[in-house]
Chain A
Amino acid sequence: MFWPLSRRLAVGPAALLLAVALTGCGGGDDAPAADAPTPEEVLAQAKTTLDETSGLSIDLSTPGLPDGVQGIASATGVITSAPAFDGTLDVVLSGTTFSVPVIAVDGTVYAQLPLTTGWQDIDPEDYNAPDPAGLVAGETGFSGLLPATTDVVEGESVRGGDNNEEILTSYTGTVPGAAMKKVIPSATGDSFDATYAVTGDGELRDATFVGAFYADSGEMTYTVTFEGYGTQREIAAP
């Protein structure tokens, strides 16, 4: 509401900066063409792109775990098509957040536990956590949720992505609990509200899921960001 006002008042250098910024991009005309793909087709395309990429950076986070829940507060790292993962998981155990460096290769998950210096192999299921290497593609990946999403509705064009430079199209829908359980094993909800943001090139940029991810707890939100499609990385066991 104060923006038009401030723009009129912004003098000299400020106006110049704005002009430079605004001429940089063409603006957001998104009149649907006659042969525009249906939302389902867009998501199917996004799934293929996710499944086929050589690697990408993933960032999963939540604004907050429900009180008393033991689970994943965040996960960041690189996932390759090997599949392999190299990054960090923030795990909440008994009210304390532990930041755990994790490398997952060939179905084995190695973790460097807090205040220790060595690596050890961990069964992620014991910690209510998925194998992070499998989080992108295949049966246990977020890509599997895209075709499983029902009642998909195309939403507005929004700005987002790295440095806020991209124009994304948002889609909302519902993910059945059974599909979510394959990705996040601890998920207990019957269904999850999903919001996807897809780039013009058919890359899924981010996905937000709302629902019950842990037993005996209320609804919570996980947001997953996928950046740097096509990353090439050799990830080896530590």
Chain B
Amino acid sequence: MSAGRQARALLALASVAVAFAAADTYVVVLALPDMMTSVGIPVVQLQRAAPIVSGFLLGYVAMLPLIGRIADLRGRVPVLVMALVVFALGSLVTTLAYDMPTIVVGRFLQGVGGGGLVPATLALVADLYPRERRGVPLGVVSAVQELGSVVGPLFGAVVLSVGDWRAIFAINLAVGLVLAAAISTLADRAPARPPGTGARAGRPDLVGALLLVLTLITGGLVFVQPSQLMQDLTWGQLFIPFTGDGRWLTPLGALAMACALLLLVRSATARRPLVDLRGWLRGLLEADLPGALLLAAALSGVILAFATADPQVQVFSDQGLWYLLGSAVAVVLFVVHLRRTPEPLVPHGAIGRTPAWGALLVSFFVGAALIAALIDIPLFARTTIYPDSQLQAALVLVRFLVALPVGAVLGGYLTRRVPAGVVTAAGMVLAAIGFVLMSRWGLTTLEEASASIPLVVGGLGFGLALAPVNAAVLASTDDSVHGLATALVVVSRMVGMLVGISALTTVGLRRYYAEQVDIPPAREVCGGTTRCTEFTVLLKQAGIAQEQTVFLGAAGCALVAAVLALVLFRHAETRALSAHDLLRSSFGG
């Protein structure tokens, strides 16, 4: 294999990994009801399950600022392999998860791994191609990333039609490991090694490997609690807690934690460690670990605040207000930290002009509205007409997703003739119209062909808004920060998704409870008995009411985005940019 072909093969593998990780953001949308049942969350308390989605986004977003720098410091291939290993570890934790916190931890790790893949792959493109030939490969990487989000729900649906939700993550685990092995094998055969992967002579660290295996086995047993072992009179004692209850303060749990600790110590001290812990830590610190941690803390405070709410009583629990306060403190520290850093993530004044920071604000609200469509459309389909067919429910969302790229192309060409603010506003108004129509969907609307109209209108609207937002950023920032600025637009959109999924479900439900009229007693509805078709229909209508309120909230977010775009993009000189540039960067990750 020639060096060129090898490099392209490497890039192809990395792109597959990126697509796979992107698919994972939305892979759970159809599995959410099943996952909620598995961990004992009733379907009507969606706000408590939102972290299953937002946990992934948190990991994805928090890692992005770090990884670009680590990829420079440690080399692309090690970062790709490490990201895939972390992704696989997250998949393992999720597939074995036994309660909500373990699912969210698993999803967070998946996000960290998935988020690490994108910048490393983009950096790989920069290594392999000269500047003038980067357009196509960058476009391909961005396209597969978007493709992943279309394929994600479908992939989840196909797996769910033959297995349960745990199977999805078991497949993720396998694919992650296979890709990691393939990439490192391919890179090992490369004649010129990237910096930081100097040949390691001698035997690998056997003690470390042994500790790793022990950690996996003991940890796995704590997660799975196999009944043969638990019921055994002798071995079952390993599962008895020292104090209180819980799985980790048991002999087995302690053993697992001790093995993990020893593995960490071994990795930090061995001459040829399994994982070069010291090196990675050094890389992380050089790449602004404190900054990433502060960002993660700020975002997780928001997630927790909404997830602990009881919308039947109020939007935030008392504890939720503390989470929000913590979040605010983290934001302040993050800003101070950025200002003090000699080489800040975002150079001073880089996004100082109104359309530039305006685009970030608009993206935030676009993301908040978009996530409502991605999560609640399939959820709505499952709870109304396709309770037993995830594939059919996924196909409902596909009608929305297919219209999206059509709108994107249209938006790209319109942006050359019409001001960016107007195009964005038009797109978001279309999206809002779609959402308002969706909020009127009833129990059987999806069976009718007319249900496609709001789906297509909404998808088209979101597509339209992609290019003008990027155009506004590109036209009002310097050439040298274009890459960073478009990346910030994507990050801002994802933060919007993360806050949106948390806030919309909670606030929507709160509004529902505040305004609803209670369902009349069953005896009244059914005339004597306490169960009849009319009453079941009433119950189901109450069940979809939360999704209807979320659609309305999303319509509100879309309108806010429209107004902001009109006002903030007024002075953006976007009509000089070529459509090709816009479309390419509008998908940029």
User: Is A160's beta carbon under 8 Å from chain B?
Assistant: yes
Report how many residues on chain B are interfacial, defined by Cβ distance under 8 Å: 51
Interface flag for B191 (CB, 8 Å): no
**Complexed CA–CA distance, A3 and B230 (Å):** 13
Q: A6-B214, A6-B218 are in contact. Are A24 and B258 (CB under 8 A)?
A: no
Chain B residues with CB under 8 A of A93? 536, 539-540
Those of A97-141 within 8 Å (CB) of chain B: 97-99, 113-118, 120-123, 126-127
CB distance from B249 to the nearest CB of A (A): 10
Q: List A159-209 residues whose CB lies under 8 Å from chain B.
A: 159-160, 162-165, 167
Distance of A96 Cα from B217 Cα, bound (Å): 36
Q: Does B479 contact A (CB under 8 A)?
A: no
Tell me, in angstroms, the Cα distance from A2 to B217 when the chains sit together.
9
Knowing A96-B43, A116-B542, A123-B531, the reply to whether A27 touches B519 (Cβ < 8 A) is no
B132 at the interface (CB under 8 A from A): no
Q: Is there a chain B Cβ closer than 8 Å to A95's Cβ?
A: yes
By DSSP majority rule, is chain A's interface helix, strand, loop, or mixed? mixed
Chain B residue with minimal CB distance to A11?
B262
Interface residue ranges of B520-541 to A (CB < 8 Å): 521-523, 529-531, 536, 539-540
B444 in contact (CB, < 8 A): no
Q: Does A67 make an interface contact (CB < 8 A)?
A: yes
Q: How far is the CA of A215 from the CA of B499 in the complex (A)?
A: 45
Q: Smallest distance from the beta carbon of A167 to chain B beta carbons, Å?
A: 6
Partner of A118 from the list B238, B258, B388, B518 (CB cut-off 8 Å) is B518
Q: Are A17 and B255 in contact (CB under 8 A)?
A: yes
Q: Is A159 in contact with B255, judged by CB distance below 8 angstroms?
A: no
User: A32 at interface (Cβ–Cβ under 8 A)?
Assistant: no
**B240:A163 contact, CB within 8 angstroms:** yes
From 221 to 255 in chain B, residues with beta carbon under 8 angstroms from any chain A beta carbon are 230-241, 245, 251, 254-255
- A17, B236: Cβ atoms under 8 Å? no
* A28 and B240 contact, CB distance less than 8 A: no
| Structural contact, B312 and A117, CB atoms closer than 8 A | yes
Give, as a whole number of angstroms, the nearest-CB distance from B262 to chain A.
8
A residues less than 8 Å from B231 (CB atoms): 158-160
Q: CB distance A9 to B210 under 8 Å?
A: yes
Q: Complex formed: what's the CA distance from A97 to B536 in Å?
A: 13
Q: Which of A24, A120, A159 contacts B522 (CB 8 A)?
A: A120
CB-nearest residue of chain A relative to B236? A159
Q: Which residues of A contact B450 (CB under 8 A)?
A: none
Bound CA–CA A24/B231 (angstroms)? 17
B234 touches A115 (CB 8 A): no
Asked whether, in the complex, the Cβ of B218 is within 8 Å of the Cβ of A158, the reply is no
Contact assessment for A98 and B518 in the assembled complex, using a CB-CB cutoff below 8 Å? no
A99 and B44 contact, CB distance less than 8 A = yes
Would you call A10 and B255 a contact (CB within 8 A)? yes
Contact: A98 with B44, CB < 8 Å? yes
Known: A6-B218, A163-B245. A13 touches B258 (CB 8 A): yes
Residues of B within 8 A of A120 (CB): 521-523
Chain B's closest residue to A157 (CB) is B233
Distance in Å from the Cβ of A101 to the closest Cβ of chain B?
10
**Bound CA–CA A90/B45 (angstroms):** 13
Are A67 and B388 in contact, with the CB atoms below 8 A? yes
Q: Chain B: which residue is nearest A23 at the CB level?
A: B237
- A160 to chain B: closest residue by CB: B231
Check B101 for interface membership: any CB of A closer than 8 A. Answer: no
Bound CA–CA A96/B240 (angstroms):
36
**Which residue of the partner chain, among B251, B259, B312, contacts A20 with CB atoms under 8 Å?**
B251
Instruction: Tell me if A160 and B543 are in contact (CB < 8 A).
Output: no
Does A153 sit at the interface, judged by CB under 8 A?
Answer: no
Complex formed: what's the CA distance from A4 to B235 in Å?
11
Complexed CA–CA distance, A22 and B516 (Å): 57
CA distance A10 to B530 in the complex (A): 60
Please give, as numbers and ranges, the residues of chain B lying within 8 Å of A118 by CB-CB distance.
Answer: 518
| A115 touching B44, Cβ below 8 Å | yes
Q: Does A236 contact B (CB under 8 A)?
A: no
B383, B513, B529, B539 — most chain A CB neighbours (10 Å)? B539
B374 CB, min distance to chain A CBs, angstroms: 21
In the assembled complex, A18 has its CB within 8 A of some CB on chain B: yes
Q: Is B545 an interface residue (CB 8 A)?
A: yes
Do B44 and A159 have beta carbons less than 8 Å apart? no
Q: Are B543 and A116 in contact (CB under 8 A)?
A: no
> Does B480 reach chain A (CB closer than 8 Å)?
no
Does B483 touch A at the CB level, under 8 Å?
no
With A17-B254, A21-B251, A159-B236 already in contact, the answer to whether A97 and B42 are too (CB < 8 A) is yes
Nearest CB on B from A89, distance (A): 11
- Check: B512 CB closer than 8 A to any chain A CB: yes
A218 at the interface (CB under 8 A from B): no
Closest chain B residue to A90, Cβ basis = B42
The answer to whether B529 touches A98 (Cβ under 8 A) is no
Q: How far is the CA of A158 from the CA of B530 in the complex (A)?
A: 43
In the complex, B387 has a CB within 8 A of chain A: yes
B234 to chain A, nearest CB (A): 7
Q: Known A90-B42, A116-B542; judge A160-B230 contact (CB<8 A).
A: yes
Q: Are A68 and B388 in contact (CB under 8 A)?
A: yes
> Are B239 and A114 closer than 8 Å at their CB atoms?
no
Query: Which chain B positions have C-beta within 8 A of A163?
Result: 239-241, 245
Query: Which of chain A's residues has its CB closest to B235's CB?
Result: A3
Contact across chains for B530 and A126 when beta carbons are under 8 A apart: yes
Per a CB cutoff under 8 Å, which of A17, A22, A116 touches B519? Answer: A116
Tell whether A164 pairs with B236 under 8 Å between CB atoms, given A94-B387, A158-B231. Answer: yes
**Closest chain B residue to A119, Cβ basis:** B521
Q: How far is the CA of A160 from the CA of B387 in the complex (A)?
A: 36
Say whether A114 contacts B543, CB under 8 Å: yes
Docked-complex contact A113 and B245, CB < 8 angstroms: no
**A33 on the B face (CB < 8 A):** no
Q: Does A25 contact B (CB under 8 A)?
A: yes
In the complex, the chain A residue whose C-beta lies closest to that of B36 is A97
Q: In the assembly, what is the distance between CA of A41 and CA of B201, in Å? A: 70
How many Å from the CB of B255 to the closest CB on chain A?
Answer: 5
Docked pose: A94 CA to B245 CA in angstroms: 36
A14 interface residue (CB < 8 Å to B): yes
Residue B546, interface by CB 8 Å = yes
The 5 tightest CB contacts between A and B, nearest first, are A95-B387, A28-B233, A159-B236, A126-B531, A99-B42
A-B contact pairs, 27 of them (CB 8 A): A3-B235, A6-B218, A14-B254, A21-B240, A21-B251, A22-B237, A73-B37, A93-B539, A95-B387, A98-B42, A98-B43, A113-B519, A114-B44, A114-B543, A115-B44, A115-B513, A115-B546, A116-B519, A117-B312, A117-B518, A120-B522, A120-B523, A122-B522, A126-B529, A159-B230, A159-B232, A160-B236
Q: A97-B33, A114-B543, A158-B232 are in contact. List 15 more A-B contacts (CB 8 A).
A: A6-B218, A17-B255, A21-B237, A21-B251, A27-B233, A96-B540, A99-B42, A115-B543, A115-B546, A121-B521, A121-B523, A126-B530, A163-B245, A164-B230, A164-B240
